[in-house]
Amino acid sequence: MKQHELYMREALCLAEESVREGGGPFGAVIVRDGEIIAASANSVTLTHDPTAHAEVNAIRLACANLQTHNLSGCVIYTSCEPCPMCLGAIYWARLGAIYYANTRTDAQAIGFDDSFIYDEIARPLEQRKIPMTQLLRQEGLEAFEEWRLKADKSEY
Ligand SMILES: [Zn+2]
């Protein structure tokens, strides 16, 4: 457990530094076989990027450092329970485990409410706040068909 706490403290330090440097109060560290592969804070406001959450930043950095899109064999330490976007990214990246410090309720208490996104996901499409309209499905399927038939594709 000591080792886990060490990596978590790294993530927590990043979160605290981030607050002082003008970013959001979140940090994340990705570790493989006892080695830190990537570490990042939230940089949403600093980089004008709403997807620049600490976990997404750390995943991008880890993938660039390891030159892969698959982080299986790695684990993530994040200063806060991941939001739905980051949780999705963590699953896409195939990370093996998630260690978190603060809960989404703790984040909500300081103005970061992602519970509404969890609520939205659970709603039928037509009941969501952002309208979703289907268009040109037949034409959209053409790229899918080309992918299905492609013999030398890199599946992921
Ligand atoms: Zn997030």
Evaluate if pTM is beyond 0.85: yes
| 55 catalytic residue (yes or no) | yes
Distance of CA 30 to the CA centre of its chain: 11
**Choice among 5, 10, 17, 55 that is catalytic:** 55
Residue at 126: amino acid letter: E
The pLDDT tens digits for 49-87 are: 999 999 999 999 999 999 999 999 999 999 999 999 999
Closest CA to 9 of 28, 25, 23: 28
Cα three-residue angle 109-112-115, rounded to 5 degrees = 90
Say whether pLDDT at 89 is over 90.
Answer: yes
Ligand 1 center–CA 139 separation, angstroms:
33
Q: Kind of pairing, strands 27-32 and 35-41?
A: antiparallel
pLDDT at 1: 78
